[in-house]
Structure 1
Amino acid sequence: MSTLEVSQFTHTPLYCEENVYFLLKKLCKDGVADADGSDLFVVFISNDMKQIPLWHQKASTRADGIILWDYHAICIQLHMSLKPSGHHFQLFSEYRRSFRIVHAPIFLRFFASDRRHMKDPDGNWTAQPPAYEPIVAEDGTVHNLNEYMEIHASDELKNMEADLINSVFTQQLGVAISENQLEEFFAQIS
């Protein structure tokens, strides 16, 4: 397998959900992931306050790369999943993060964004949109990003029962879990 370079992927700053969408497609096409994406997951990160801290972000102006996002989306490949970082620390409660995990094959079929979330009240772009056309779901839906990025602590699974874990493989919006459950979730489904 050849080394992957960032320049090989479609990327538009501040459009993380679209970047992840095209990353999934590329990983499947190039044989880095299963052809159907069955080993890939999209993880949306947010909270009730729409303020989640993330580190090592290019958009940050700080040396440590920390930035507060209203939400963020990442891709996780099952066999490469999450490894404990050794950096366990307590965030202030207002920065507690929740995670929505969506199985990639489902996300690729149902996700849609017409980018309305990137316009100000006057209809002007807050960040330059990608040059390609907006993503439309297989069923013709033109925008459902809000449903994916809206994550509240009250949405989180309370336990890791098998039938709830299986929901990630069948539910359009996947499942919402707490930060403490993230590693456990991927350990149980691998």
Structure 2
Amino acid sequence: MTTSNLDISQFDHTPFYCEENVYMLCKKLGMIGMADAEGSDLFAVFISNEKKQVPLWHQKASKRADGIILWDYHVICIQKKKEGSSPPQVWDLDSSLPFPSHLDHYMSDSFRPSFQLFSDYQRFFRIVHAPLFLHSFASDRRHMKNSDGNWISPPPAQDPIVADDGSLYNLDEYIRMNAADAVTQVKDDTISAVFTQKYGVLVRESQLEEFFSLLSG
């Protein structure tokens, strides 16, 4: 199967549950041979900031023509294949852009880097290696219930995700982002850390493409 004949409808997608969508996506890409079976060429990338308000364009949930929406956080999957020289690709089930999109195109269209943002809207990126994510992530969906215990948005059909260690909920650890925790430079130890640290590494928007360019092909 190639990306040219991919049908996006074959992938599980529940609006407003991007973290679970990416979890299921990573598994599916390995199952259908579009990624390494263990997901070793995939990365779950959480996008947020201290204020929990990050603008993205070309999002299906938007009610505007340009597709802009202010998310409290968003999650995408980035693939960097080990063989060949193919560029990193972004898989975003919530985007109206091509599925998948090359990372540089996705960034220019979704993040509009020339658009000057106030500091409250600066985006940070937590890069988590997919095998670690698939073993460690957990969500009982408590964040999607209001104070009365009712769903803010209908949940996915599948059971809630339980981590291998039995954890029921740790989404907050993935989306907690402080500027002080971001790496100052993308170096060899930054690359090494993403393959060993449960919650990955935190980088600034200007460092995202650099990070994936330094991954060994």
Normalised-by-shorter TM-score class: over 0.9
CA-CA distance at 1:91 after TM superposition: 1.5
Q: Which residue of 2 aligns with 1:138?
A: 164
State the secondary structure of the residue aligned to 1:83.
helix
What amino acid maps onto 1:96 in structure 2?
Q
Identity across the alignment (%): 63
SS at 1:185's partner residue? helix
The yes-or-no answer on 1:98 pairing with 2:104 is no
Q: Does 1:187 align with 2:208?
A: no
1:45 aligns with 2:71: no
Give the secondary structure class of the aligned counterpart of 1:129: coil
Structure 2: stretches of 5+ with no match in the other structure:
82-86, 89-102
Aligned Cα RMSD in Å? 1.3
| Paired AA for residue 47 in structure 2 | I
TM-score computed with the length of structure 2 as normaliser: 0.84
Matches within 5 A, 1:70-89: 70-79=72-81, 80-81=87-88, 82-83=103-104, 85=108, 87-89=112-114
2:98 maps to none
1:155 alignment counterpart: 181
Residue 141 of structure 1 aligns to a residue whose secondary structure is coil
Q: Which runs of 5 or more structure 1 residues have no equivalent in the other structure? A: none
Query: Paired residue for 2:199?
Result: 173
User: TM-score, structure 1 length as denominator?
Assistant: 0.96
Specify the SS of the correspondent of 2:70: strand
C-alpha deviation, 1:164, in angstroms = 2.4
> Aligned to 2:9, which of 7, 29, 43?
7
Aligned residue-pair number: 190
Give me the whole-angstrom Cα distance separating, in 2, the residues matched to 1:146 and 1:12. 19
**Structure 1 segments (4+ residues) deviating >6 Å:** none
